[in-house]
Amino acid sequence: MGRTRPKTRKVKPLITENTAEPAVPPSVPALLEKAQELIVRCDYELAGRFARRVLEREPGNVEAKEMLGVTQLETGELDAAKETFQSLIPPNPGAPAIPPPSAHLYLAQLSDDDPHLALKHYQAAVDILSAQLKGKERAVDPVGPGEDEAELKRNIVRALIGMVEIWMDPSYDLCFDPAAEKTCEELLNLALQTDPGNTEALQTLASVRMSQQRPDDAKACLEQAWSQWKDLDLVADDPRLPPIPSRLALVKLFLELALYTPALLVLQGIMATDDQEVEAWYLEGWCFFLMAEQAQENGGKLDELTWEELARDARDCLETCQMLHINQEHPDKPLLEHVRELITKLDALGIQPSPDKEGSDEEGWEDVEGSDDEDGDVEMS
């Protein structure tokens, strides 16, 4: 009997497994893309980990440092965020020759204890962005200005508005500087020269006009700002609409000028986008409360509505606002205090929430737009 040949077939898969190539690590662009995606999804902790992985491989990567700073800012690590953004600005070692303007913009916001330093950062950002804009303008585009150019203009305007807000802030001595009013005018003129018709610039100019006791001029600015987008599809959340914080700021200015109908119409668009927006419910309730007060002063009615009807609408909105504020653990405590103060006043007047509030919001919005409902609870026309 001959020698038995050894069986070797089982060895082959083991050899294949042992000699398999190791997995290729993700590229730096892939890591940056993932970090950006996580930031958009507000997963800042995980986004920060991806940004750090990039920095482990490329310690000087500017985009990764920017993203890391953003994640630190959003997670409350303010000192760490400040240090990260400062590392992007010369003469810090490893900083790019021309720092990203976002680093200056974030540092301006993080310098609220030093308004002069904040102004320097804003101005530095404006200078960098303006140089970038001139480069875009020199590259003649027969089709017209592109989205990049429009975004540059918006960022310049936001930086200029940030400077105006510092000069107008009563908590800073700059507010009382004799040059404050002239400086704000110059900054806003530059903003509107950079981006004519910019709604945020017009709203800030309206705020300045109100501080100057020029309500008619303020009203004209607000009407010009609102006219830019009021006919857009509010329900479809048209991308040309200003961001919700900007629209909420517009509502506040409308209320200061007792322009209640446009205030409610702007709130309608915000609610169509996000019916869980705490500040929108607060402003709607505050608007109806002010209308109820005006109705009392005018003999009990305003636009065919009794003050009690308006006050009931205010109570319903404020109750919803209070519920959302608590459920969301909203950080704005003074807002909740004011809501409770208004509810207490309404309670003292004998105004209780509607027995059945389901569907009342939709009816109210239809009334604002001219519904002929017989009850007319919030008919504003």
pLDDT tens, per residue, the chain with 381 residues: 444 454 544 444 444 445 455 677 889 999 999 999 999 999 999 999 999 999 999 999 999 999 999 999 999 999 999 999 999 999 988 899 999 999 999 999 999 899 999 999 999 999 999 999 988 655 544 444 456 898 999 999 999 999 999 999 999 999 899 999 999 999 999 999 999 999 999 999 999 999 999 999 999 999 999 998 888 876 666 777 888 999 999 999 999 999 999 999 999 989 988 899 999 999 999 999 999 999 998 888 888 889 999 999 999 999 999 999 999 999 999 999 999 999 999 999 999 998 865 444 444 444 444 433 434 333 333
- Cα–Cα distance between 165 and 180 in angstroms, integer? 11
Strands (E), the chain: 301-302, 305-306
Mean pLDDT of the chain: 85
Give CA separation, 209 vs 156, 204, 300, 380, in Å.
22, 9, 32, 27
Query: Which residues lie closer than 8 Å to 113 by C-beta, 6 or more apart?
Result: none
* Per-residue confidence (pLDDT) for residue 236, from 0 to 100: 63
What is the per-residue pLDDT for 233? 74
The amino acid at 68: L
Question: What's the CA gap between 155 and 153, in Å, rounded?
Answer: 5
Residue 46, φ and ψ in degrees, nearest 5: -70, -35
Tokens 């709604």 correspond to 199
Question: Residue 202 has which token pair?
Answer: 């017009």
Q: Give 3-state DSSP helix, strand, coil % of the chain, rounded to 5.
A: 65, 0, 35
Q: Which long-range contacts (CB under 8 A, 24 or more apart) does 39-47 make?
A: 39/67, 39/70, 39/71, 42/74, 44/70, 44/71, 44/74, 44/75, 45/71, 45/75, 47/71
Give the CA distances from residue 275 to residues 61, 138, 207, 267, in Å, rounded to whole numbers and listed in that order.
40, 44, 27, 10
Half-sphere exposure of 20 (CA within 13 A, CB side): 9
pLDDT of residue 368: 41
Distances (CA, A) of 246 to 143, 262, 361: 30, 15, 23
Task: Give yes or no for a contact between 183 and 167, defined as CB atoms under 8 angstroms apart.
Answer: yes
CB atoms within 10 A of CB 81: 22
> How far lies 235's CA from each of 52, 102, 109, 241, 282, in Å?
40, 32, 32, 11, 20
Tens digits of residue pLDDT in 55-107: 999 999 999 999 999 999 999 999 999 999 999 999 988 899 999 999 999 99
Q: Which alpha helices (H) appear in 19-113, and where do they start and end?
A: 28-40, 44-57, 62-74, 78-86, 101-109
